Structure formats: C-alpha cells, structure tokens
Structure 1
Amino acid sequence: MNDKDMLVRPDPEDRRLYQTVTGIDQTRASVPADIINERPLTIFLNGREIVTAMTIGDYPDYLALGYLLNQNMLRADDEVKSVDYDEEIETVVVRTTRQTDYEEKLKKKIQTSGCAMGTVFGDVMEKFETVSLPTDERFHTSWLYGLQKAINTMPSLYLKTGAIHGCVLCEEDRPLIYMEDVGRHNAMDKIAGYMFRHGLSTKGKSLYTTGRLTSEMVIKTVQMGIPVLLSRSGFTAWGVELARKAGLTLIGRAKGKRFIALAGTERIVFDADPTQATDEPGHLSRKGSRDDD
C-alpha cells in the first residue's frame, strides 16, 4: 500500500480548517502565519445533548460516533439509524434503534486534563476491565521505523500550522487513517467512528499518536481492541499502569532510531538494526518533522 491507498489522509489545503493572518517576527518583519480554526461541535444522542467539543470541524459524523463509542454510550452492535450534521448550528445528532442509557452516564461526567480538554464518564472502566486484547499478534521494529518516516513527512495540517495533534491507524508499516484535531482524543475518536461506520477490523492494527501516552489514550485504545499504541512523546504513570494491566503494547519517545517500550514488550519483534535507522537531530524544525507535543 502506498500513500495513495490511504483511507483518510490530512488535507492541508482545506481552507475551511485554517486561516492566514499577519504578524511580525523576531526581526520586526511582517510575516504571514497559517493558524488552525477552532469551533464548537455539540453532539446529541437520540435527542439528548451530550457534550460540546472544540474541534477543527472536519469529519463531524466520525467524531460524534467515535466519541459516543469511546464513552460507552454506543455499543459496537448498536444499529445507528442516522447521523445528521447541521453546519449552521454546529450540531450533530446520532439516532439509534436501541434506547441508550446516557442519562446515568451524564451524571458521571469527568473533565480530563490535556489539549482542548477531554471528557470521560465515571463508568468508562467498566468496558476497559472486560476487554481482552489479542496475545498472538506481533509488532515489528522495522514497521515502527517505516511508520515514523511516513507519518512525519506526510503533508499535514500540523506541518502547515502547528497547534494540532494527529492520530494514525496503521497496519504493519502502512498508515491507513490519519486524523488531526486540536485534541488528540478528538483525532482518536474520529478513527473509532470511521472504523465503526465502515466495519473496519482491528486485526493487525496499531495506533500512532503525536501526543502524550496518557490514561485516556490507553483506555480508548484498549476499548477499540487495538493491541499496540505508539507515540513520539512520553508517558504518564497511570497510562503505563493501565497498559500493563490490559496487556497493551505501549511504545513511546519514538524518534528516529530510539524508542522505549514500557508495556506489552512480548509483542515486539526486533527485526531491524537500529544503527541503520535514520536518527533525528536534537531539535527539529516543523518542516523536518514533529516537535514534542
């Protein structure tokens, strides 16, 4: 599979997602700057308002579905009758055949820290505790090196504007779905929504995120049934603890030839010589690759 075969890729030329303003640089010279747009999206489930998320505004249907799935307000076997997006009033309404139990879940809403503020519900661990990740799948270090090169050099809104996160669903060393948003949890929800709507299997898949490996990212990955989570950024203690508990392979600080795995190391196949991999300089410009997020 090459870049053209990707299911979803960033569109850094979509003018709906960013605007150009003028400022001055360190020499007082006038310079143009591309800055990402940020707008509210209110998600409804069966006529009930659930949450208002700040987002860049692309793929509102996938974001709504993925958010509801990752908050356990939708089940994988739910029949979704319709997903209606109204751009003018910035709302998306998801309707299901089954009567959902959102009222109880709304009582347990918790705000999470991090970019653009995530939201989880107090009983989110119920599903997490029951998920069994596949133990027979493997992840090759050669795939990791290939993914880093493909993702970090692909045209994206991050390389154009900064101030944004990305999550990528991968298969071996190939990016399949690359979503971006102001919060990494939004980008991951979009992937979950796409997979749900198109019936995409998790078999042989991994997830790459540009942001920190936090508890929320670990929980969502496990709930999606994906056994490997990767990042060029670092870890939180609870994220590592939960990954070990769930048997999730957790690889962070992946930059050039370097990485650290803190959970699920039995899945890793060391089939690449790290001395032959391309390393990254200590400080990369936005044009070269991603800075730490």
Structure 2
Amino acid sequence: MVHNKLKVIKFSNDSLIETTDVAAIEYPLTIYVDGEEFATIVCTPTHLNELVIGFLASEGMIRFKEDITLLEIDESRGFAYVELKIKQSINKEMFSKRMIGSCCGKSRQFYFHNDAKTAKTIMSKQLISIAQCFSLMNQMQMNSTDFQLTGGVHNAALCTTDQLLFSYSDVGRHNALDKLFGHCIQSNMPLKDKIIVFSGRISSEVVLKVAKIGAGILLSKSAPTSLGIDLAADLGITVVGFIRNDQLNIYSHPERIIEANQINKEPEPSC
C-alpha cells in the first residue's frame, strides 16, 4: 500500500470544508544481515525485496543475486532478514568513514569507503536526442499514478532511448533508485545502454548510486548540486536536469546528446 486516506480541513474559494485526502505512507524497515542489524530505511512499503537487494548492492554488501542465500521480509513488524553466501562481519566504519581516493589521475571525493569500492567509471557510448529526453520524462510522469494521487513520492525509471521499461516510486528518492537497482540485479539486466529518468534533485549521492547501477545517462526534472555535477563529470555520467517546459540543461558529458555539436552561444551582455 502506497497511501492512506485521511480527513483534512481544506481552504478553497474563501471557505473551509471538511473533506478527505491521501498521504504517502512512511514505513521503517530494519535490515538484518547474517543476524546483525545493518540499517533502518524509512520507505514506501512496496517492492521491499527489490529495495533490500538494491540497497545492499549500493552499499557494497553484494554484487549478484546469488550472493544472497536467504531474504525474508516480515512486513507486519518492519524487518528484513538477509543471509549471505559469504558471511561477513559488518564493519560500521566501512559504511561511515569518509575517504578521499584517487583514480586515473583525478581526485575523487567519496562520502564513504564503500562508495570508492563500488562506484564505476561509465564507458557507455549510448546516445540520446533532446526530443527523446523530453519524451522519456513525460512517460515517467504519466506513469506515476502514486505521485498524481499523493504528490509525496519520488520516481525512478529505467529506459531505452525510446521507451520506459519499468519504474518505482518511494517517499525517499534514494529508495526509488535502490528499488530500480534491485530489479536490475534480480533480472540480470545489461545496463550499459540504459538510461535512468528521475524526479528528484541530482545530488552527489544520487550520482554515486547511478554509477553503481552502471547507467551512463541520468535525466531529471530537478536541479543538480555542484558536487553532483563534479562527480558525474569524473565518473563519466551524462547529467541532464531541469527537463520541463520544453527546456533542459546539460551539465556533464554532452557528447552523448546528439545535438550537442549544434550549440549556439548566447551573446555577451553589452556594458
């Protein structure tokens, strides 16, 4: 279930009325790995298997679905129990200690040690046109009935250049991407030619998740952050933001945008 009905008092047309509305559900899910508490995620209680698998892959705990020997969800109590093929003691410092690494002569600043271990440089040669960027964003928004009902969830979709393959919604934008990642791992889907369409802000954490998933193009209707752009440039990811009202901004690796060689520079403002 994605939303709950609730009574509200609404002000409209200069009057107050009692009516009903819907609100997105927030649900705490605590994940245990090999009997040890690992993390608690506040999420939308749908597609929890995909969420757990994607989250563990994003955190560097697993790489393939075969790395998990048991996954049980106790939805009524809010617990997920995972057993791994290769048992590992959870080192809290590995998931909280900031680290600066170096690769290919460029300095990369990651928030956590596991980011440096799992984030990949993307070498995809997939191209996309500006018209296809608008079309994919429109498809994702039209497909998001959860957002249309509540206005309180984020969406992430995996696409080809022409069509949306599947999408997930969640109150947390990172969770939506983890559900996407979990689906890809479960289905052994090749990702080098795929595109991620996203509703949320393009932060450095979002870019790192996209790098871990392995897609080379990230489209969003929202804004990026400066560190998000820097990491995207370093990791080989094309970031396109503010896709709305027939406009968009290309922030990194424009060579994947077909029309990028047709740039007209704005004239310098006169004094």
Regarding TM over 0.5, the answer is yes
CA deviations on 1:107-147 (whole Å, 9 max, x unpaired) are 6268xxxxxxxxx9720332356x23124221222221211
Change (3 A) 1:148 1:102: same
Matched, 1:124 2:77: no
Which whole-Å CA distance do the structure 2 matches of 1:100 and 1:139 have between them?
41
Pair 1:89-2:89 in alignment? no
Give 3-state SS (helix, strand or coil) of 1:25's partner: strand
Structure 2 spans left out of the alignment, 5+ residues: 99-109, 263-271
Indicate conservation of the 8 Å contact 1:106/1:121, yes or no: no
CA deviations over 1:220-261 (Å, ceiling 9, x no partner): 001111101110000100000000111100000011321001
**CA distance in structure 1 between the aligned counterparts of 2:23 and 2:65, rounded to whole angstroms:** 39
- Alignment-mate amino acid for residue 62 of structure 2: L
User: What are the within-5 Å matches in structure 2 for residues 173-252 of structure 1?
Assistant: 173-252=162-241
**1:98 aligned onto 2:86:** yes
- 1:148–1:256 CA contact under 8 A, matched in 2: no
Q: Secondary structure at the match of 1:218?
A: helix
Matched, 1:18 2:3: yes
In the other structure, the counterpart of 1:56 is 44
2:28 to 32, 40, 58: 40
Q: How far apart are 1:176 and its partner, in Å? A: 1.2
Length, aligned pairs only = 247
In structure 1, the gaps of 5 or more residues are 1-15, 111-119, 274-293
CA-to-aligned-CA distance 1:250-279 (integer Å, 9 cap, x gap): 0000113210011011111129x9xxxxxx
CA contact (8 A) 1:250 1:264 kept: yes
**Separation in 2 of the partners of 1:109 and 1:65?**
23
Describe the SS at the equivalent of 1:29. strand
Q: Which amino acid aligns with 1:231?
A: S
Is residue 2:63 matched to residue 1:75?
A: yes
Matched, 1:108 2:96: yes
One-letter code of the match for 2:250? Answer: A
Mapped to 2, the partners of 1:155 and 1:170 lie a distance apart of: 15
In structure 2, C-alpha distance between the alignment counterparts of 1:164 and 1:184, rounded to whole Å: 8
Partner SS, residue 188 of structure 1: helix
Q: What CA deviation, in whole Å up to 9, does each residue of 1:2-54 have, x standing for no partner?
A: xxxxxxxxxxxxxx221111112222011211111111101121221111111
Aligned-partner SS, 1:28: strand
Secondary structure, in 3 states, of the residue corresponding to 1:149?
A: helix
CA contact (8 A) 2:137 2:220 kept: no
Q: CA deviation at 1:156?
A: 1.5
The 1:23–1:109 alpha-carbon spacing in structure 2 relative to 1, beyond 3 Å, is farther
Instruction: Find out whether 1:138 has 2:123 as its counterpart.
Output: no
- Determine which structure has more spread, i.e. the larger CA radius of gyration: 2
- Shift of the 193–109 alpha-carbon distance from structure 1 to 2, 3 Å rule, reads farther
Which residue matches 1:291? Answer: none
TM-score by length of 2: 0.85
Shift of 1:68: 0.8
Query: Aligned AA for 2:113?
Result: D
Of residues 25, 29, 40, the one that matches 2:17 is: 29
Find the aligned partners of 1:85 and 1:250 in 2 and give their Cα distance.
35
2:240 counterpart SS class: strand
- The one-letter code of the counterpart of 1:124 is N
Aligned partners of 1:179 and 1:154: how far apart in 2? Answer: 10
- Tell me which residue corresponds to 1:282: none
State the one-letter code of the partner of 2:48: P
CA RMSD of aligned residues (A): 2.2
CA 23–77 in structure 1, closer or farther in 2 if over 3 Å, else same = closer
Q: TM-score, normalised by structure 1?
A: 0.79
